[in-house]
Amino acid sequence: MTPDPPVPFEPQTIVMRPKTRMYRLHDNRFRTPEFNPGPKGPGRFHFFGTPTVPALYTAATETGAVAETLLRNIPVTGGHIAYGDYQSKVMAALDIEREVRLASFLGTDLRALKVAPEQLTTTPLDNYPQTRKWAEAAHAAGFDGIAWMSRQDNSDRAYMFFGDRVTEDDFTVVPGTGRIFALEPDRDWLADLCAPMHIEVLTNTA
């Protein structure tokens, strides 16, 4: 079970420098640097606040971005990604254009907070009401967002930015990095990525 955040809340800080690159995989109803305004669709670290604090999730790599979105409900034994799960999904790289401060939910920084990954960053979804309290505590402590290790890809960092601290204008979309998974070349790229993980990417005719 996820405990409440400690008081005072004093996590270690990650300073993300300008031009740090990351990847966002998202529904095509949003622009790549556009924050999800909420409040529908609660997740591990969103949504909270009145008014709702918008959220933008990214990952340090393309694989991490895929893992955090398309693979999050697929068991380690394998499975498939249905066409409807990716037909509206796109991905591109973003560069941050200014320095931001992130609360670290990584490695030994979790020990400093007296919490384990299985209590915060790798919990099942039924525990999200508790894990959201930690994002809210980071927000109240003045951070611009949070960083943790992807549950599905624990070699890559995942990030969430708070939309009342960081704006769409703080990001630049990197030209030539876009992927549209409904199109065959990017669907094939996704299939090649997933195949070693025993995950089949189904087509619309499957």
What CATH number is given for 13-201 in this structure? 3.90.175
- Main-chain dihedrals φ then ψ at residue 86, nearest 5 degrees: -125, -5
Mean pLDDT over the full length of the chain: 95
The pLDDT value given to residue 205: 57
Predicted confidence (pLDDT) at residue 204 exceeds the cutoff of 70: yes
Does residue 96 register a pLDDT over 90?
Answer: yes
Residue 125: CB atoms within 10 A of its CB come to 12
The token duo for 176 is 């030539």
Are 154 and 170 in contact by the 8 Å Cβ rule? The answer is no
Paired residues of 24 in beta bridges: 92
User: pLDDT tens digit string along 31-55?
Assistant: 999 999 999 888 999 999 999 999 9
- pTM for this one? 0.95
Scanning the structure block, which residue is given the tokens 């009145």? Answer: 50
pLDDT for the residue 125: 87
pLDDT of 206 over the 60 cut = no
Give the Cβ contact number of residue 126 at 10 Å. 7
Q: With a cut of 60, say whether residue 25 has pLDDT above it.
A: yes
% of the chain at pLDDT higher than 90: 91
Whether 101 has a pLDDT exceeding 70, the answer reads yes
CA 155 – CA 157 distance, rounded (Å): 7
In the DSSP assignment, the letter for residue 36 is B
Domain ranges of the chain: 13-201
Identify whether the C-beta of residue 163 lies closer than 8 Å to the C-beta of residue 35.
yes
